[in-house]
Chains A and B, each alone.
Chain A
Amino acid sequence: MTAALVAPAESGRLASRRSAAWEWALDRQWPLSLTALAVLLLGWELSARADRIPDYLLSPWGAVDGLHRAYADGMLMPALELSGYRLVLGFLIGTTAGVVLGLVSGTNRLLGSLLDPMVSIANPLPKIALLPVFAVWLGFTDLTRISIIALGCFFPTYLNAASGTRLVDVSFLRVSRNVEASRIRSFLHVVLPAALPRVLVGVRISLALSFVVLFASEIVVSPDGVGGMLYAGFLNGDYPRMYAGLLVLAVAGFAADLVLSVLARRLTRGQSVGVVGRG
């Protein structure tokens, strides 16, 4: 069997001329990724300096500069506070409700059969699309924004919490019955830890979603906050301001997800989603 007949994936891996350092880099991935990103940003920066890109596409340095200027102008901090307040409140309300109801729905068959259909019908409806309607009902206020953010966060967490609870390995439940553990103890020590990986997946999804909904809400419902700053910059042709807002949203989204994933890994020691009953 010659190398030509072996599928491309295998021939790449068979090449043994790779040094140990290269192997390490391929394994860890981030060194290569960051290098590529740095090269890309550098190329972009240089093109900007050489005036080879349109002026509405700021260079990386220009974006950072815009951020600094927004901070110096006193625009950044109030915007951050406003957006942060909305995001945190909406996220907390939505995910808490989602987790609690999802857990209840998963453990209690009666409540589950009542709640599940309701959530399943509402799930395909785009919650952001409710922004104009909520604006009509509740006004162009924070209440509208926070409600929609909470609504958006509710669904992924509910669905994942409910399914995580239902998918707990039967063997675990049987062990619990074997020792005649009380329902509460069984729930706290067995069901909850077993469902936790999936619950946290739902929380991560809703975290990413909350940023999207926040941005949309800050455009549709009277622009202020970070999203508003971005949009105002766009409308006024103040591109540094626009990129400042974009940078803040991107970094905040990335950082929040990173924190959550670290937290999730600590909380779910020894488990992974979908691994059930491995011998």
Chain B
Amino acid sequence: MASVGRHRALPPVTVLLSLLGLVLPFVLWEVNAQAQQNLLVPKLGEIVQALQESAESGALWYNASVTLRSALCGLLLAVVVGVALGTAMAQSRLLEAVLSPLLGASYPVPKLALYPVAILIFGLGTLPVVILVALECMYPIAYNTFQGVRSTPRELVRAAANSEGGPLRTFGAVHVPSALPSVMTGLRIAVPIMIVVAVVVEMLGQSRGLGFLIRDAGRAIEPALALGVILLLGVVGVALDFLIKMATRRLVFWEVAPGE
């Protein structure tokens, strides 16, 4: 209703400006770096070189694998707990009444501050990282699962019940597919969080991982490596988001994208 007339072709000016916007930060950075000729402001080439050296020495891959493992374990834990919580909350008004305000109130509380406590409880390995990642990622997953299960259209549930499936079968046949888009949305929100939280926690006090690598590079006055890793993280984040989008489209194949 409100979209007629908006399908004007993009004038070439905006396309040009978009390209400029993409390229400009890098250009400005390089110009500044060349002008400064200072080790502290690494040129783009130096950043790439630092990454290469780290890759060759194996440090990059080792730390990346540590981070990835912690992040994925944390995500897995978050999915298990989050989906369970979200589903339970959608099925039980009591649970919803008890948990919903608590989850809402605890959202603005910086969970990162629990890192020292996590170390005390779980020791100095990578477990605190996993726990904190799980804690942060649980929120969007639980919330979206809750919304997804709760918004299962009544007619679908009744139609399924009509064919005498029993509650568990109904759940699998109706609630799960109906809630799937929302769960995937929660997952899509959680994935960038998982990477960022893992890296940040590592940066605070871990002895391994990409976060540790960044802090170590900073301590050794090697901003080129630190920046390189950060850029790498950005690329990884974009790639993961793309993967999730593809996965969503495959799994939720019955939804027509808007405009089709």
Contacts and interface: CB of A to CB of B under 8 A. Distances in A.
Whether A and B touch (Cβ < 8 Å) is answered with yes
Contacts of B219: 132
Nearest to A227: B113
Contacts of B204: 216, 219-220
B214 A129 contact: yes
B1 interface: yes
B256 interface: no
Given A110-B13, A126-B200, A37 B102 contact: yes
B102 to A, nearest CB: 6
Interface string B148-179: 01101010010011101111001100110000
Interface in A231-264: 231, 234, 242, 245-246, 249-250, 253-254, 256-257
Contacts of A211: 108-110
A50 interface: no
A215 B22 CA distance: 32
A133 interface: yes
A240 to B, nearest CB: 13
A231 B97 contact: no
B226 A133 contact: yes
A170 B18 contact: no
B200 A136 contact: no
B259 interface: no
Nearest to A251: B109
Nearest to A276: B2
B37 interface: no
Contacts of B250: none
A212 B25 contact: no
Given A124-B238, A211-B108, A9 B94 contact: no
Chain B interface residue count: which class? 35 or more
B40 interface: yes
A199 interface: no
A169 interface: yes
A1 B162 contact: yes
Contacts of A100: none
Given A4-B167, A215-B113, A132 B214 contact: yes
Contacts of A270: none
B251 interface: no
Given A136-B218, A137-B40, A208-B108, A115 B21 contact: yes
Contact of A113 (B17, B40, B92): B17
B196 interface: yes
A15 to B, nearest CB: 10
Contact of B200 (A57, A121, A129, A207): A129
Contacts of A254: 105-106, 108-109
A275 interface: no
Contact of A33 (B25, B90, B101, B162): B101
Chain A interface residue count: which class? 35 or more
Contacts of A128: 196, 199-200, 203
Nearest to B222: A136
A216 to B, nearest CB: 6
A114 B18 contact: yes
B31 interface: no
Contact of A132 (B116, B160, B161, B226): B226
A89 interface: no
Interface in B50-109: 90-94, 96-102, 105-109
Interface in B1-51: 1-3, 5-6, 13-15, 17-22, 24-25, 40-41
12 contacts: A5-B161, A7-B152, A10-B154, A10-B157, A29-B98, A33-B101, A54-B120, A118-B22, A129-B211, A211-B109, A215-B110, A234-B119
Given A7-B152, A215-B113, 12 more contacts: A5-B170, A9-B91, A54-B120, A110-B13, A114-B24, A126-B230, A129-B211, A136-B223, A170-B6, A216-B112, A234-B120, A254-B108
Interface of B: 1-3, 5-6, 13-15, 17-22, 24-25, 40-41, 90-94, 96-102, 105-114, 116-117, 119-121, 149-150, 152, 154, 157, 160-162, 164-167, 170-171, 174-175, 192, 195-196, 199-200, 203-205, 211, 214-215, 217-219, 221, 223, 226-227, 229-231, 233-235, 237-238, 241
Interface of A: 1, 4-10, 12-13, 25-26, 28-30, 32-34, 36-37, 54, 56-57, 109-110, 112-118, 121-122, 124-126, 128-133, 135-137, 169-171, 204, 207-208, 211-212, 214-216, 219-220, 227, 230-231, 234, 242, 245-246, 249-250, 253-254, 256-257, 276-277
